């Protein structure tokens, strides 16, 4: 199945570009989907180690607020993306030093606690964060080029797509490397790793920092696309959404998060438009159907259709 991944990625990218051209309003939806897909790749890394973070929206929100705070001084999308990634990575390292001491439900809930602390700070420190009013993000130059609104939106879409490809490729290589395979070893035989001279906690911490950086990148793209950041980005339902997308897309390959994010955003948009009061019911039903009939998620379904088990 792995050998079909690049082809499927190109097909998915072509479909996204075509959809964005034919229906310009979808450009916004697909950019957000790509941003969430990048963040969910971070969730996938942790799932590979058998750990679920119920608080990763913390890093998405952090990346978004880095853009909102720094945009007046560092007024360039590329620089702000780099700043969000590095900032989220540093925050991930600090928090990771603590949370990677724990496993399973403790790991998940500590991440949730951290994200809710951050949410509360964003809400309460009104003079700095503007509380629940949030902060508006203006259209900004991209790589030094001042752009009109449409060109800017296309640029952010293009950057999101390019980053999705780059992240997918790098994470794919990482998961096949000794470091990535050791990460998977944490899920099944962590003790063995220690008796092989491999520091399991160090392996998990490095994956955690990477996942935080991916969250930060995703959050920065969301801020640049929606151009308004609020504390809701860090709320626990936002973290749940990331886990939801990870399960929907499937954790067997790096395309899963992007399939899941695209499906999630499209189902949400269409469900909200058609059944304004019941869109959450529809989303929940979709997830239930996936869990019951396609436990490997959309990626697992694709693998089965192509005739390979392919997931681990």
Partner 1 sequence: MTEVLLQATGLRLAFGGVKAADNIDLGVMKGEFLAIIGPNGAGKTTFINMSTGYLRPNAGEITYEGRRITGMSPRAIVKLGIARSFQLPQLFIEHTVEQNIALAVASRDGIWSPLAPLMRPRYRDEARDLLARFGLSAIADTRADALNEGARKLADIAMAVALKPRLLLMDEPTSGVAASEKMAIVETLVNVLRDAKVTAVFVEHDMDVVERFADRVAVWSQGRIAALGPPDQVLNDPAVLRDVIGIERHA
Residue with the two structure tokens 């809710």: 116
Of residues 191 and 237, the one with the C-beta less far from partner 1: 191
Query: Toward partner 1, which CB reaches closer, 117 or 198?
Result: 198
Site string for partner 1, 181-220 (x = CB under 8 A): xx-xx-xxx-xxxxxxxxx---x--x--------------
Cβ proximity to partner 1, 124 vs 312, nearer residue: 312
- Residue closer to partner 1 (CB basis): 48 or 268: 48
Report helix, strand or coil for 229. strand
Sign for the CA dihedral angle at 77, 83, 87, 93 comes to positive
Identify the residue among 180, 216, 253, 300 touching partner 1 (CB under 8 A): 180
Q: Is residue 104 a contact residue for partner 1 (CB under 8 A)?
A: no
The whole-angstrom separation of Cα 242 and Cα 112 is: 12
Q: Assign 142 to helix, strand or coil.
A: strand
Residue 308 binds to partner 1 (criterion: CB under 8 A): no
Judged by beta carbon, residue 206 or residue 239, the one nearer partner 1 is: 206
Q: Which residues of 121-150 are buried (b: 16+ CB within 10 A; e: fewer)?
A: ebbeeeeebbeeebbebebbebeeeebeee
Given the complex with partner 1, which of 176 and 274 has the nearer CB atom?
176
By CB under 8 A, tell whether 170 contacts partner 1. Answer: yes
Minimum separation from the CB atom of position 198 to partner 1 (A): 5
From CA 63, how far away is CA 88, in angstroms rounded? 6
For position 134 contacting partner 1 by CB under 8 A, the verdict is no
- Residue 290 CB, shortest distance to partner 1, in Å, is 21
CB of 200 within 8 A of CB of 193? yes
HEC string for 9-49: HHHHHHHHHHHHHHCCHHHHHHHHHHHHHHHHHHHHHHHHC
Shortest distance, position 203 Cβ to partner 1, whole Å: 8
CA distance 34 to 139: 19
Smallest gap, in angstroms, from Cβ of residue 45 to partner 1? 11
Check binding of 52 to partner 1 (CB under 8 A). Answer: no
Which contiguous run of DSSP H or E holds residue 194? helix 178-194
- Closer CB to partner 1, 68 or 85, in the complex: 85
In the numeric block, which tokens belong to residue 186? 């944490």
Residue 101 sits in the site that holds partner 1 (CB under 8 A): no
Binding site for partner 1 (CB under 8 A): 170, 173-174, 176-182, 184-185, 187-189, 191-199, 203, 206, 312
């Amino acid at each position: 199945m792995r050998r079909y991944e690049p082809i499927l990625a190109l097909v998915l990218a072509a479909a996204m570009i075509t959809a964005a051209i034919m229906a310009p309003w979808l450009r916004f939806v697909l950019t957000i989907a790509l941003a969430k897909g990048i963040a969910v790749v971070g969730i996938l890394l942790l799932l590979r180690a058998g750990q679920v973070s119920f608080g990763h929206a913390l890093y998405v929100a952090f990346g978004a607020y880095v853009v909102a705070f720094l945009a007046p001084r560092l007024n360039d999308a590329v620089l702000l993306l780099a700043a969000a990634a590095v900032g989220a990575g540093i925050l991930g390292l600090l928090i990771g030093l603590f949370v990677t001491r724990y496993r399973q439900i403790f790991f998940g809930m500590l991440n949730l606690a951290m994200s809710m602390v951050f949410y509360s700070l964003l809400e309460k420190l009104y003079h700095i964060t503007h509380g629940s009013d949030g902060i508006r993000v203006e259209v900004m130059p991209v790589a030094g080029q001042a752009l009109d609104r449409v060109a800017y939106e296309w640029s952010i879409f293009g950057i999101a797509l390019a980053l999705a490809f780059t992240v997918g490729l790098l994470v794919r290589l990482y998961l096949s490397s000794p470091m990535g395979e050791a990460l998977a070893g944490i899920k099944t035989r962590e003790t063995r790793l220690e008796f092989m001279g491999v520091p399991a906690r160090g392996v998990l911490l490095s994956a955690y920092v990477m996942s935080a950086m991916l969250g930060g990148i995703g959050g920065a793209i969301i801020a640049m696309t929606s151009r308004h950041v609020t504390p809701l980005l860090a709320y626990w339902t936002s973290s749940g959404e990331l886990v939801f997308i990870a399960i929907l897309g499937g954790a067997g390959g790096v395309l899963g998060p992007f399939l899941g994010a695209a499906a999630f955003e499209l189902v949400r948009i269409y469900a909200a438009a058609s059944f304004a009061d019941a869109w959450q019911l529809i989303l929940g039903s979709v997830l239930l159907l996936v869990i019951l009939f396609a436990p490997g998620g959309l990626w697992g379904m694709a693998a089965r259709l192509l005739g390979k088990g392919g997931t681990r």
